[in-house]
Every structure is written in structure tokens, then in C-alpha cells.
Structure 1
Amino acid sequence: MKDTANKTASVYRMVMKDHVCPYGLKTVDLLKREGFAIDDHHLETREQTDAFKAKHDVKTTPQTFINGRRIGGYDDVREYFGKKPIEKDEDATSYQPVIAIFAVTALLGLGLSWFSYGELLTVAAAEWFVSLSMCVLAIQKLQDIRSFSTMFLNYDLLARRWVPYGFVYPFGEALAGILMTAHVLPIISVPVSLFIGGIGAFSVFKAVYIDKRELKCACVGGNSNVPLGFVSLTENIFMIGMGLWMGARALGWIVI
């Protein structure tokens, strides 16, 4: 049970010339935000750290004590104050990466529209939102293209027939996104966008809605915990839609 009658906590954390424990800093910050005065003990050498661990029979630092009772490490202190632990479940799925990407690219589109036209809500803002989303998603894949290509093989139909396509795809997405952002060379960006978007959409639809497979999406990189389904399908529909839109503009079918 939390006892805050004595608002002083003792924290033992590593503070060395070549290393300052980040969780120690987080622990001190959390305790201060909870109104505690900190009796901050620095473990300045490996020998001091090992001796402290042996004395208190613990495997890690930092360690926090309140009213003489050991609370534990950073997650234990969070739990003490009724907060959720921050340890990441590597198998848990999350939409957070995609939400962050789409939110930032939407704001970038609005910002570019304001700078260029003095208005937020323009057709160009929507175009930039999609093209910049393609660029950022491509960057995510290119950070570790081998991991991406491996995950991509789980569901993409063309990559299964021609494995190098897993390496080609992010470069194609980046190229189409860059050209569409600049509104140049639609003769290249439009077919590339339609091709990779069309195959991707069909592959995801088959894997998720026909075969009913539960897979993780490679759309934000090879280490993604985003579930395959609506998000990846949306990415590919964006590319198809943008390809059709930019193609129609290039042919003069749409005049803005």
C-alpha cells in the first residue's frame, strides 16, 4: 500500500563518468513529480554497484527505498504510485507507429498548404498528406530492409514469386512519393504507385479477409507490431487513389 506520509525517498542509481542510468533519472523525476524529496545516492563505480546489489540481493539498479522499505526499480515505483508498467510486450500489437506517421504527415500537408497558398484546407494539402505518408512509410521500411523483406514474404503475392521484390518495393514507394510531392514526372510515379499499390491491396485483402490469417504488417518496417489488415490496406488504397488522381491531373482530366 502506498504511504506518502514521509515524503522522502532514497534512490540508489548508477552515475559514472561514462554512464548515467536513464531509469535512475526517470525514477528521480517521477518521485519529484509525486512530491517527494530525494535522498539521491550515486553509485559511481562498478565495484560500488556490485557491492550494493550483493548487499540488498538485487539484480538491477536503480533501487528506491521509502520509509526504510525497498520499493524496487523504476517499474516498481510506477506500480507503487498506481501507474502502469512501461515494459513493452514484444508480442503485443499496436497502432501507435501508424497513428504517429499519419498525424505528422497530415500536419505537414497542412503546413505546406498554409506556406504555399495561405490556406490550410486545400487539395494540395490532401495530396501532400498522401505523398509524404508514402515517403515516411518507405523510410520506415528502408531502415532495416532485410527485416522488412522477410516479414513482407508472409503475405505479399508477388514477393513470394519473386523474392527480390521485397527489396524493390520500399524504393518504389519512396520514388513515387517523392515525385508526387514535387508534382513531377507522373509518367513514372503514376504507374509505380498503381502497380505496387494494386498488388499490395490484393495481397493484404487475400491474407486477412479471405485466408483469415493473423499476421503483423510490414508497412512500418520489419520490426513492426502493427497488425496486418486495415492499416496496410489503407496504405495501398492511398497509393492507388493517388496514382489515379495524379494520372488524371497529368492527362488534363482534372483541372484545379
Structure 2
Amino acid sequence: MPKDADNTAILYRMVMTDHMCPYGLKSKDLLERQGFTVEDRHLTTRDAVDAFKAEHNVKTTPQTFIDGTRIGGFDDLSAHFGKSVKSESTTTYKPVIALFSVAALLAIALTWVALGTAFTGRTIEWFIAISMVLLGLQKLQDVEKFATMFLNYDLLAQRWVRYGYVYPFVETGAGLLMVAGAFTWLSAPAALIVATIGAISVFKAVYIDKRDLKCACVGGDSKVPLGFVSLTENLMMIGMALWMLLKLV
């Protein structure tokens, strides 16, 4: 490989009619953000890709070369520039932070539209109800994966496996009814039952059994650790359900 010009990187990436490698685009973007001029070399056929891999003894593309030295793929390039790359097993609270933030903003927006003000006691009710809907939606994206992960810690699901398939629909449905303020006699008891079981299950798994698990609260692909967030979700539902029941009295 010839020496590259100063501040110039050579990038080999797949750009085919039916496939454009996303990591190739990410590598190009990263190089440009680091001030490099990118000599963007496209591998436009499968034969070209295979020949490139064989020539340079690599298993994947894209591949970046700087000053005649092969840096590697996107993860290697990120490490070269001191950028951290999270592994698939890395735990994170970002999904729930994003979800609750959006729920709060939606509750404020709904309050503004319905009541002409930014915040009232109803805002809190809507925040919890919207959070339930959004959390339920995350689970409904892949009920099978959620139900499987749920079996790791939920006490009722461990005794009745089908409960893991029912839970997302109960949470989402109860949340929607609470947003509308309709059929409280149905939504509040349903939320209270599933949330109480959930709170007990999480407390036992995390604080009594000391198990290190992922939370199924944002779906079956969750990297959120089971613990405070999961318990908070259930306690919010319990509080909302009790409050709605008290309003019926």
C-alpha cells in the first residue's frame, strides 16, 4: 500500500446496487470529522470485496488506511481516535432516560392543549399513563423476546408462562385508558395487579437474591440493568392505580 498524503486517509467500503455498508459511511464521517481528506474507494461487486479481503488478509470491510498503515474497521478506527465503542453487552440507562423524557414532554404538551397551561396535577397523571403506554409499546415490538427475558425474574410468569405474553397488552391498555380517563374501574385494578406482582418480583430478584439481570422493561433487547428503574416503573403504576381508584370513591 503506497504512503498516503498528509492528512489523507484511504477508505475501502462496499457500495453496491443492493447494499451500502453503514459502517463504511460511519467510517467516512468519522474521518472527515477528524479533519481527514478521504480517498473513498468503492467496492462495487462481491468479487471485488472478496479480492480485497484476500489481498489484505481481512475478514470484513470497511477498512481504513492512514499513512500506509491499515487501521481496520469502524470500531478499530474509533479506538484509533480515542473514541469509546460500547459492546453489545454494555449496560445503559439511555433508553429509559429517553423514554421518560419524551413521556414528560408529551404530558406537558397534552396539558397545554387540553387545559391551556403547562403543568397541573393532571400532568403527573398523564406522565405516568403515557410512560406506561411507551413502555408497553417497547415490549410489544417483540413480545416473544420480552416474554423470554421476563421469565428470568417475574414470579407469576415463572409459574404461568403465558403471563409474559399478556403483560405488555395489560400495561399498554391500562395506560391508554388512564390517558383518556375512561373505564377507570378496569384500568386501575389491572395496573395495580400487574405492577404489584412486578414490584415484588424485582425486589426479590435484585435486593434479596442479589441477581445481576437485564430489565425487560424496555423490551427483550434491553441493556438496562434490572434494579431501581424497574422497581420505579412498577411503583409508579401502583401509585397511579391507587390514585385513580381513590378518585372513584
Q: Which residue of 2 is the match for residue 70 of structure 1?
A: 70
1:241 aligns with 2:239: yes
Between the aligned residues of both structures, percent identity stands at 60
Q: Which residue of 2 is the match for residue 227 of structure 1?
A: 225
Say which SS state the counterpart of residue 58 (structure 1) adopts.
coil
Q: Is the 8 A contact 2:5 2:67 kept in 1?
A: no
> Which of 181, 187, 191 matches 2:179?
181
CA-to-aligned-CA distance 1:22-69 (integer Å, 9 cap, x gap): 111111111111111111111111111111111111111111112222
Q: Is the 8 A contact 2:216 2:222 kept in 1?
A: yes
Do the aligned partners of residues 194 and 74 (structure 1) sit closer, same or farther apart at CA in structure 2, a change above 3 Å counting? Answer: same
Partners of 1:93 and 1:82 in 2: CA distance? 20
After TM superposition, give the deviation of residue 5 of structure 1 in Å: 8.5
Say which SS state the counterpart of residue 64 (structure 2) adopts.
strand
> Which of 135, 138, 146 matches 2:144?
146
Do the aligned partners of residues 213 and 75 (structure 1) sit closer, same or farther apart at CA in structure 2, a change above 3 Å counting? Answer: closer
1:55 aligns with 2:55: yes
> Which of 180, 192, 195 matches 2:193?
195
Q: Which residue of 2 is the match for residue 42 of structure 1?
A: 42
Partners of 1:222 and 1:155 in 2: CA distance? 13
1:7 aligns with 2:7: yes
Partners of 1:204 and 1:36 in 2: CA distance? 49
Partners of 1:5 and 1:40 in 2: CA distance? 14
After TM superposition, give the deviation of residue 124 of structure 1 in Å: 1.9
> Which of 87, 105, 108 matches 2:106?
108
1:79 aligns with 2:79: yes
Partners of 1:209 and 1:189 in 2: CA distance? 29
Partners of 2:159 and 2:48 in 1: CA distance? 58
CA-to-aligned-CA distance 1:101-148 (integer Å, 9 cap, x gap): 111111111111122223222222211110011011111112221222
Partners of 2:143 and 2:168 in 1: CA distance? 8
Q: Which residue of 2 is the match for residue 254 of structure 1?
A: none
After TM superposition, give the deviation of residue 232 of structure 1 in Å: 1.1
After TM superposition, give the deviation of residue 172 of structure 1 in Å: 0.9
Q: Which residue of 2 is the match for residue 20 of structure 1?
A: 20
Q: Which residue of 2 is the match for residue 205 of structure 1?
A: 203
> In structure 2, what residue type is equivalent to 1:54?
A
Q: Which residue of 2 is the match for residue 89 of structure 1?
A: 88
Partners of 2:34 and 2:175 in 1: CA distance? 46
Say which SS state the counterpart of residue 239 (structure 1) adopts.
helix
CA-to-aligned-CA distance 1:136-176 (integer Å, 9 cap, x gap): 11111122212222222222222222222111111111111
> Which of 142, 152, 163 matches 2:161?
163
Q: Is the 8 A contact 2:149 2:220 kept in 1?
A: yes
Say which SS state the counterpart of residue 89 (structure 1) adopts.
coil
Q: Which residue of 2 is the match for residue 130 of structure 1?
A: 128
